[in-house]
Structure 1
Amino acid sequence: MKDLARYSEGSAKKPAQSQPSQVLPQVQLVTISSEEAGQRIDNFLIRTCKGVPKSHIYRVLRSGEVRVNKGRIDQTYRLEDGDVVRIPPLRLAEKPAQTAPAAEFAILMEDEHMLVIDKPAGVAVHGGSGVSYGVIEQLRAARPQAKFLELVHRLDRETSGILLLAKKRSALTNLHEQMREGAFDKRYLTLVAGDWQNRRQHVKLPLFKYTTPDGERRVRVQADGMPSHTIFQLLRKYGPYTLLEAELKTGRTHQIRVHLASNGFPILGDDKYGDFTLNKALQKTEGGRRALKRMFLHAHQITFTHPHTGKEVRLNAPLPAECLNFLSSLEQQAGPVRDDDLAQAKG
């Protein structure tokens, strides 16, 4: 096998430093629990057999070495409660994938069904697209005993705030159903450039996802795009800037960022859809104003039904210190504080 050390035919000479690949132990028989049921067999193996290349997992699936209840299946088979999965010996990657460093994040709520954290800006929610690891990989590394831990939804890397994770498949399924039915209430705080006029404004613009020539994922307003709806609430004006609350009625990629930029109100610090000249200027302290070195978009409130108890859950994450400090420095330049100044921003 080419996966093992190679020897030249007809020669007893071994290649220098040649080592066989590591192989996971003998055949394993795994019984699927109710929490594991519902997922595809390929995804189950990828999560279960850490360190095994995906190409090898798909190879043994195609060859029929993986069996369920003693029968052959393909990679699209969805596991059921009580299924017995036969996992053959599997080859580990010769160069192990980079291991995510274990990390915990500020916890807003946790029970046996779910975990809700306050994600910092600059941290991806998962690995991929040039990022070796994200929140989910770091949390799994910090909690090796956790049998199940999955993202319920996502936040952009540069967006901070509330992020939900499920600790049981039943919770994940329930929360996804709530999201599909529009039962989630997700609200963000954002600071934009421009003099916003309406106290409350609906923006309904269809959004289309595309990829740039260099492989970067982007979104634009386009007639045949996905229907998208955001409600913006005016909170306070700071000279040339406006603090808004954004309520998501749909959850499209980069929805808030593109809806605002398309209306002429780019989010401060947005490196994809923002005002790049302004962003660069704001990264420097000037005349008492603090520097802003991140995108000013923060998921500050979420309301949903608990997947187990059925009770309403409302959680808040206050603005991070760097955003509050920036607002405070603008406040000093903007004049007297009004009654509704930072009440909502501070959660």
Structure 2
Amino acid sequence: MPPVQHFDVSDAESGQKLLQFLQRRLGNVPRSLLMRLVRKGQVRVDGGRKKPFDRVSAGQVVRVPPIRLDDVPAPSADGPALPVAYEEDGVVVIVKPAGLPVQPGTGHADAVTERLKAQYAGAAFTPTPAHRLDRDTSGLLACGATYAALRHLQEAFQNHTLGKYYLCWTEGACEAGTRLTMRDTMERSGAPGREKVRTGSGKDAHARALSLYTDGAVTLFCVRLFTGRMHQIRVQLAGRGYPLVGDGKYGTPRGNQRMLLHAWALAWDDTFVRRDPDWAGRFAVGGHVPDDVRELDM
């Protein structure tokens, strides 16, 4: 029989809901089982009963009864550690490769969250993504290494005090210096894994785009997002005649050419973090991007 477990709530974990705390500490235990244990009073905080959504504080002790999970495999990370572009004051910015999902799902156990668990094994609070990137999008992903930092990042994204900037190559020519203000309503439909987004109804989607360079056939854009809708950049640029290079869903496939969309920079307060994409040959960004996003006036 597994033993009773006692967990001390650390400063990094303080402020979480009890259910969140248990999910992070126990990893692969189903949420439904945790809810049941808390509601039956089998989980105790400082010796007393709590509700699943009560918050825990630093210094409290959480008692968890024996849990047997013989048939639940432990999550594992199959890939290498993720490069870290910035790490300070509880904020960790990692570089996500294209093709790696942020969360595990059907058909793909390897994910950013699983690699972070392995990369920061033993940490009081595993760095947790504060926003999402599509599976085929590469680039910067901001994570909170404490619960307080995670909430601060999420609020900054919601309040637009943290700027997100993307680079992408599109089909078609758009003269360098052209600015596009893109506002649409968007909604998605279709079966999981085959979802497609359409404009004309749904939630508000707002972004600005600036053409940085064109060779007459393809154009390099920088896009600042103000909302985070599924496939937003792909849909909004395609709807204006500039589908992303390699995007077979909203444009025209180019053989084995992968989609060229990269989360290039994050900017907040006096901090500016950037990571240029590793695109080569014709699609190398070279000297087409500025050293500081503030030069773009977006």
The answer, yes or no, to whether TM exceeds 0.5 is yes
Amino acid in structure 2 at the alignment position of 1:154: R
Aligned to 1:327: 283
94, 99, 108: which one pairs with 2:76? 99
The answer to whether the 8 Å contact 1:189/1:243 transfers is yes
Question: Is 1:303 aligned with 2:251?
Answer: no
Aligned to 2:183: 204
The answer to whether the 8 Å contact 1:52/1:93 transfers is no
Structural mapping, 1:172-211, within 5 Å: 172-197=150-175, 199-210=178-189
After superposition, the C-alpha distances for 1:194-244 in whole angstroms (9 at most, x for unaligned) are 23357111011112233x135544322133x22221111111112321111
Q: CA deviation at 1:129?
A: 4.6
Amino acid in structure 2 at the alignment position of 1:101: D
Q: CA deviation at 1:134?
A: 0.8
In structure 1, how many angstroms separate the alpha carbons of the residues matched to 2:104 and 2:262?
A: 21
User: TM-score by structure 1 length?
Assistant: 0.76
Aligned to 2:288: 344
Query: Tell me, what secondary structure is at the counterpart of 1:35?
Result: helix
Aligned to 1:317: 275
Aligned to 2:294: none
The answer to whether the 8 Å contact 1:303/1:314 transfers is yes
The answer to whether the 8 Å contact 2:95/2:141 transfers is yes
Aligned to 2:17: 40
Query: Tell me, what secondary structure is at the counterpart of 1:231?
Result: strand
In structure 2, how many angstroms separate the alpha carbons of the residues matched to 1:147 and 1:230?
A: 36
Q: 1:201 to 1:41 in 2, by over 3 A?
A: same
Structural mapping, 1:251-290, within 5 Å: 251-275=228-252, 279-281=253-255, 283=256
Q: CA deviation at 1:118?
A: 1.9
Segments of structure 2 that go 5 or more residues without pairing to the other structure are: 292-298
Segments of structure 1 that go 5 or more residues without pairing to the other structure are: 1-22, 284-291, 306-311, 329-340
- How well do the aligned residues superpose, as a CA RMSD in angstroms? 2.3
In structure 2, how many angstroms separate the alpha carbons of the residues matched to 1:165 and 1:76?
A: 23
Q: 1:42 to 1:102 in 2, by over 3 A?
A: farther
191, 207, 210: which one pairs with 1:230? 207
Q: 1:215 to 1:201 in 2, by over 3 A?
A: closer
The answer to whether the 8 Å contact 1:102/1:139 transfers is no
Aligned to 2:63: 86
Q: 1:98 to 1:169 in 2, by over 3 A?
A: closer
The answer to whether the 8 Å contact 2:13/2:147 transfers is yes
204, 220, 236: which one pairs with 2:198? 220
In structure 1, how many angstroms separate the alpha carbons of the residues matched to 2:138 and 2:193?
A: 24
Considering Cα pairs closer than 8 Å and 6+ residues apart, tell me whether 1 or 2 has the greater RCO.
2
Q: CA deviation at 1:45?
A: 1.2
Q: CA deviation at 1:168?
A: 1.5
Aligned to 1:9: none
The answer to whether the 8 Å contact 2:18/2:54 transfers is yes
Identity, in percent, stands at 34
User: TM-score by structure 2 length?
Assistant: 0.87
In structure 2, how many angstroms separate the alpha carbons of the residues matched to 1:228 and 1:62?
A: 40
2, 5, 8: which one pairs with 1:31? 8
Query: Tell me, what secondary structure is at the counterpart of 1:176?
Result: helix
Amino acid in structure 2 at the alignment position of 1:74: K
Aligned to 2:97: 120
Q: 1:144 to 1:102 in 2, by over 3 A?
A: farther
In structure 2, how many angstroms separate the alpha carbons of the residues matched to 1:112 and 1:313?
A: 12
Question: Is 1:171 aligned with 2:127?
Answer: no
Q: CA deviation at 1:112?
A: 5.4
In structure 1, how many angstroms separate the alpha carbons of the residues matched to 2:79 and 2:260?
A: 27
Larger CA Rg, structure 1 vs 2: 1
The answer to whether the 8 Å contact 1:51/1:93 transfers is no
Q: CA deviation at 1:102?
A: 6.1
218, 233, 236: which one pairs with 1:241? 218
Q: CA deviation at 1:103?
A: 3.0
Amino acid in structure 1 at the alignment position of 2:275: A
In structure 1, how many angstroms separate the alpha carbons of the residues matched to 2:66 and 2:93?
A: 37
Q: CA deviation at 1:56?
A: 3.0
The answer to whether the 8 Å contact 2:188/2:198 transfers is yes
Q: 1:34 to 1:221 in 2, by over 3 A?
A: same
Q: 1:131 to 1:235 in 2, by over 3 A?
A: same
Amino acid in structure 2 at the alignment position of 1:140: K
